[in-house]
Amino acid sequence: MSTFGASIVKLELPDRDGKVDDCVLGFDSVAEYDRGREHTNFFGATVGRVANRIAGSSFTIDGVSTQLDVNEGEKNHLHGGDLSWHRKHWESREILNGVEFSYLSADGDMKYPGRVRVSVRYTLNDGKLKVQFEAHLDAAEKKSTPINLTNHSYFNLAGHTSENGILSHELEVYADHYTPTDSASIPTREAKSLDEVPSMDFRKAKQIDAALRELAAASGYSAEEMEDAIQRKGRGASEPLGFDHNYCLNFFHSAGEYANCPIRAIAKLSHRDSGRVMKVSSTSPGVQVYTGNYIGECSGKNGFVYRQRAGICLETQTYPDAISPDASKHPEFSKGACFILKPGGKPYFHDVVYSFEIEDSASEALMKMLE
């Protein structure tokens, strides 16, 4: 862990033969994490105040409009801004089986209103890494503010130096709907059934390589274009093929009541060659599945060069752009509404658990025969 960005910087896991690999992407020094727009991958960081995208870089709460910095494309706001919480030094203290990071975000921090106290707890026990986010307004604060936190780790269960990236991983996501997006990755306000869009469907485990090919075919790529889009590893890829979409998790609940939502299984990531499995549980209404489409060529830990699809993010959070004024007009989309911290109101809570296991090769072979 690192106090810079309250980040996960290393995750060492054994495979079925006892070999240990570091299974998250990252850098060797704080200076490498703190390169601003030269590095926009958010490796391992705590992202906020509002994770994901805000269309037009603006929102209105209690009749008060706020204009944020544009830091993605020509008009949108991403992950709280260029100098947001992923590039702050957090306070830290040891707790039982882990560490707690805390940060006091001033009124006007990256142009967001309100003074906010935020903490992130990481605890490791019995093969489970639990992350607990909490945020509340300072006691004397009179301004409301949006909040949507996530951890932005890029996982690679083959090890972060895998030349094949995540292509041989299998992914399963427990969602019957997803939120389609426009060309700027802004949701269209639909919560679309995956029965209608098989190429986006991970309800049954899919190998990521195969899922990308299915997506390419559904997107009208020719066979040659499809192979190039999957194999070019980021070189010259201004709009690379891949997943960067929010999935509407199946335990829908009332908008804003995330603190009362039980933690439930949401996804499973597997790598058969190593036997490593990561199961993800969360209290969030959505998860952003991101296949590292925009990593490009990036020198990471130990000088290893990461490229497109070097890791996968499973970002548990509220829905992208769910702070926008028209979000409430769409009933299904509004179930993932951004949480609003209000003076005298409820604090924000969000838990996620990553459970790590090793699958037995004999059991795997049997399951494969039964598929």
Neighbours of 267 (CB within 10 A): 22
- pLDDT tens digits along 189-235: 999 999 999 999 999 999 999 999 999 899 888 777 777 776 654 33
Residue 220: inside a domain, yes or no?
Answer: no
Options 77, 79, 152, 160, the catalytic residue:
152
Rounded Cα distance between 371 and 368, Å, is 5
For the segment 84-94, what is each residue's pLDDT rounded down to a tens digit? 999 999 999 99
Domain annotation covers residue 159 = yes
pLDDT beyond 60 at 369: no
In which domain, by residue range, is 76 found?
Answer: 12-208+243-370
Q: What is the CATH number of the domain that holds 272?
A: 2.70.98.10
**CA-wise closest residue to 79 among 343, 313, 331, 329:** 313
Residue with tokens 């072979």: 365
- What pLDDT, on the 0 to 100 scale, is given for residue 239? 59
247: in domain = yes
pLDDT digits (tens, 9 = 90+) for 137-177: 999 999 999 999 999 999 999 999 999 999 999 999 999 99
Average pLDDT of span 126-143: 96
Per-residue confidence band for 252, with pLDDT thresholds at 50, 70 and 90: low
Give the burial string for 287-311 (b: 16+ CB within 10 Å, else e).
Answer: bbbbbbbbbbebebbeeeebbbbbb
Q: Is 152 a catalytic residue?
A: yes
pLDDT for the residue 222: 79
- By percentage, how much of the chain surpasses pLDDT 90? 75
225 is known as an active-site residue: no
341, part of any domain: yes
Confidence of residue 333 (pLDDT cuts 50, 70, 90): confident
* Separation of alpha carbons 165 and 52, rounded Å: 23
How many structural domains is the chain composed of?
1
Q: For residue 4, tell me if it sits in a domain.
A: no
Q: Is residue 259 part of a domain?
A: yes
Integer Cα distance of 182 and 53 in angstroms: 12
Better-predicted residue by pLDDT, 366 or 260:
260
Q: What is the pTM of this model?
A: 0.93
236 within some domain: no
Please identify which of the residues 100, 134, 141, 315 carries the catalytic annotation: 315
